[in-house]
């Protein structure tokens, strides 16, 4: 907790926590985390993209490696735990081995990723994509708000953008990648549980939907003559909510909605909105989306409103490895807590990492499910449980 407080004080902005990729506060975070890694017996190095990596060897050279970690960057005006908690908990688990002078039959590498949130360059997972070998070199030309390109930022941070390919995992066999992270949702809190095992990262699709009716004078066009785009959109918003409520685990959100012309005395002529729909099972998600988009057309037809739907992004779900999930569940049980399996509605570094190895995640309860906000809060006892579970997980994996 103290360590999260210390990292929370390292910000690019004076009065709030904003720690962007390859910035000054990230450099200070590296100095700090690097010291903690060394104290825990980890051998520290920086890679080209700007990840901080700490390696704790196994009993024999040539042992496979288990990867642990999370990210050190944040959103703007962030909380202290989204990301850093996973790094700090991983270091604490290794510290316990180091203090006990224990080596396991595998090496452990703690990865503190340089960018997951994508604040600076609107490009996510830069750190884990470099490790997974899916870094997109075209991104190097992206500029931040000050006009600095990603290539320049990486060079200023000490990396060589031309050699990001070398960041790709090449250190032999990997047992998996396991990440501890705050839940960012209210489920554990509602169930009264300190931690939970993630079964999958929900697949996610986004759509842009336009309702085109006819603008008109709010005083002179009678109700029955209207083709009000907002009334149609409102029906759709409620249909989305009702449909998502009808199937467990589906979340569907209309987060953006813009009205044209948007004047108090004009009947709305056009509404543009976004639909975001997620579920751990891609088939269920696709079927729900099909039904919801069909409903949009029905509403449009009934109201003489043109409805144009346009898919804007789609990310399939990522399943956690059953073997690692059951070891995490066993570790929770052994720690004396009930086991709850849940899906993650948010994306995490496990998504790109799943391309090169088995992945697993342990969620830690957070207050009110609040994240991406200074009000982000976790209990010290819950963090203690997560360290204990991760430590037991390492022991179970060693015995497996």
Of residues 187-216, those binding a copy of itself (CB under 8 A): 187, 190, 202, 204, 206, 216
Sign (positive or negative) of CA dihedral 143, 145, 147, 150: negative
Instruction: Pick from 63, 228, 270, 281 the residue near a copy of itself by CB under 8 A.
Output: 228
Residue 217 binds to a copy of itself (criterion: CB under 8 A): yes
Cβ proximity to a copy of itself: between 29 and 230 the closer is 230
Of residues 168-187, those binding a copy of itself (CB under 8 A): 183-187
Triad 351, 356, 361: Cα angle to 5°: 45
- What is the C-alpha to C-alpha distance for residues 340 and 327, in angstroms, rounded to an integer? 13
Cβ proximity to a copy of itself: between 172 and 368 the closer is 368
* CA-CA-CA-CA dihedral for 227, 230, 233, 238, to nearest 10: -120
Cβ proximity to a copy of itself: between 59 and 312 the closer is 312
Cβ proximity to a copy of itself: between 46 and 247 the closer is 247
Half-sphere exposure of 371 (CA within 13 A, CB side): 20
What's the closest the beta carbon of residue 274 comes to a copy of itself, in angstroms? 4
- What is the C-alpha to C-alpha distance for residues 298 and 292, in angstroms, rounded to an integer? 10
What's the closest the beta carbon of residue 269 comes to a copy of itself, in angstroms? 10
Residue 344 binds to a copy of itself (criterion: CB under 8 A): yes
Closest of 194, 197, 198 to residue 381, by C-alpha: 194
Half-sphere exposure of 339 (CA within 13 A, CB side): 16
Instruction: Pick from 219, 336, 380, 399 the residue near a copy of itself by CB under 8 A.
Output: 219
Cβ proximity to a copy of itself: between 51 and 386 the closer is 386
Cβ proximity to a copy of itself: between 6 and 187 the closer is 187
Residue 230 binds to a copy of itself (criterion: CB under 8 A): yes
β-strand 341-344 against 251-253: which pairing, if any? unpaired
Q: Kindly determine how many residues on this chain lie close enough to bind a copy of itself according to the rule CB under 8 A.
A: 57
What's the closest the beta carbon of residue 61 comes to a copy of itself, in angstroms? 41
3 state DSSP class of 170: coil
User: Where do runs of H (alpha helix) occur along the chain?
Assistant: 2-8, 24-39, 84-99, 126-132, 150-156, 187-191, 229-245, 282-303, 322-334, 350-353, 380-399
Instruction: Pick from 53, 278, 295, 392 the residue near a copy of itself by CB under 8 A.
Output: 278
Residue 340 binds to a copy of itself (criterion: CB under 8 A): no
* CA-CA-CA-CA dihedral for 32, 34, 38, 42, to nearest 10: 140
| Chain positions contacting a copy of itself, by CB under 8 A | 183-187, 190, 202, 204, 206, 216-225, 228, 230-231, 233-235, 237-238, 241, 244-245, 250-257, 259, 262-268, 274, 276, 278, 344-347, 369-372
């Amino acid at each position: 907790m103290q360590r999260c407080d210390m990292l929370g004080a390292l910000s690019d902005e004076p009065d709030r926590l904003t720690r962007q990729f390859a910035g000054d506060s990230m450099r200070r975070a590296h100095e700090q985390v690097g010291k903690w890694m060394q104290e825990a017996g980890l051998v520290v190095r920086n890679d080209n993209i700007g990840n901080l990596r700490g390696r704790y060897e196994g009993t024999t050279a040539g042992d496979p490696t288990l990867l642990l970690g999370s990210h050190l960057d944040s959103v703007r005006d962030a909380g202290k735990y989204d990301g850093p908690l996973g790094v700090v908990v991983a270091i604490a688990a290794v510290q316990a081995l180091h203090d006990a002078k224990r080596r396991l039959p595998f090496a452990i590498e703690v990865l503190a990723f340089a960018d997951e949130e994508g604040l600076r360059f609107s490009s996510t997972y830069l750190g884990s994509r470099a490790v997974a070998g899916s870094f997109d070199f075209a991104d190097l030309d992206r500029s931040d708000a000050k006009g600095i390109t990603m290539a320049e930022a990486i060079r200023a941070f000490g990396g060589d953008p031309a050699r990001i390919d070398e960041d790709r995992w090449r250190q032999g066999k990997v047992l998996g990648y396991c990440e501890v992270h705050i839940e960012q949702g209210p489920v554990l809190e509602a169930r009264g549980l300190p931690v939970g095992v993630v079964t999958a990262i929900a697949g996610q699709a986004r759509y842009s939907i336009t309702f085109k009716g006819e603008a008109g004078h709010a005083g002179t066009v009678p109700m029955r003559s209207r083709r009000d785009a907002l009334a149609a959109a409102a029906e759709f918003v409620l249909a989305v909510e009702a449909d998502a409520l009808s199937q467990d685990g589906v979340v569907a959100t209309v987060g953006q909605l813009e009205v044209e012309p948007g004047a108090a005395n004009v009947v709305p002529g056009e509404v543009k909105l976004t639909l975001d729909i997620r579920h751990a099972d891609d088939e269920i998600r696709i079927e729900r989306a099909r039904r919801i988009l069909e409903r949009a057309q029905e509403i449009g037809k009934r109201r003489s409103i043109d409805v144009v739907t346009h898919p804007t992004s789609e990310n399939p779900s990522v399943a956690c490895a059953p073997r690692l999930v059951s070891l995490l569940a066993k570790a929770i049980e052994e720690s004396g807590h009930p086991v709850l399996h849940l899906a993650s509605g948010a994306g995490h570094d496990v998504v790109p990492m799943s391309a090169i190895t088995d992945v697993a995640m342990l969620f830690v309860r957070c207050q009110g499910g609040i994240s991406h906000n200074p009000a982000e809060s976790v209990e010290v006892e819950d963090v203690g449980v997560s360290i204990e579970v991760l430590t037991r997980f390492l022991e179970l994996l060693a015995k497996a």
